[in-house]
Structure 1
């Protein structure tokens, strides 16, 4: 591994740490994440299925915008 790889691993760790801090302190304000229109929820008596389709698209768009800003 090169020094450049180490820098990317540290950056990824900082991003995960920042995301954890945001979720920890603002969890009561983020209740809409995962409950957007287009998120698939199926609940039966002995079965529960959840697929956050719209949430994943929005998070992917935000991450792509951030990556493009830094390039």
Structure 2
């Protein structure tokens, strides 16, 4: 392993820590996640299907932005 791998693991660990702190302190204000327009939800009597399409796209864009910022810093 190289020092670059160590830096990457530290960066990922910091992101996971920040995500955990964000969810811990602001969980009551983040209830809109998963309920955005475009998220597919089908509920029947004995069947429930949920596909958070818009939430996944938004999460992908945010994570891509964060990874690109981290790559430029290191």
Asked if these proteins are the same fold (TM beyond 0.5), I'd say yes
Task: Provide the aligned C-alpha RMSD in A.
Answer: 1.2
1:52 equivalent in structure 2: 52
Report how many residues are paired. Answer: 71
Partner secondary structure for residue 11 of structure 2: helix
TM-score (norm 2): 0.85
Q: Which runs of 4+ in 1 moved over 6 A?
A: none
Q: What are the ranges of 5 or more consecutive residues in structure 1 without an aligned counterpart?
A: none
* d(CA) in 1 for partners of 2:15, 2:28: 21
TM-score (norm 1): 0.88
2:69 equivalent in structure 1: 69
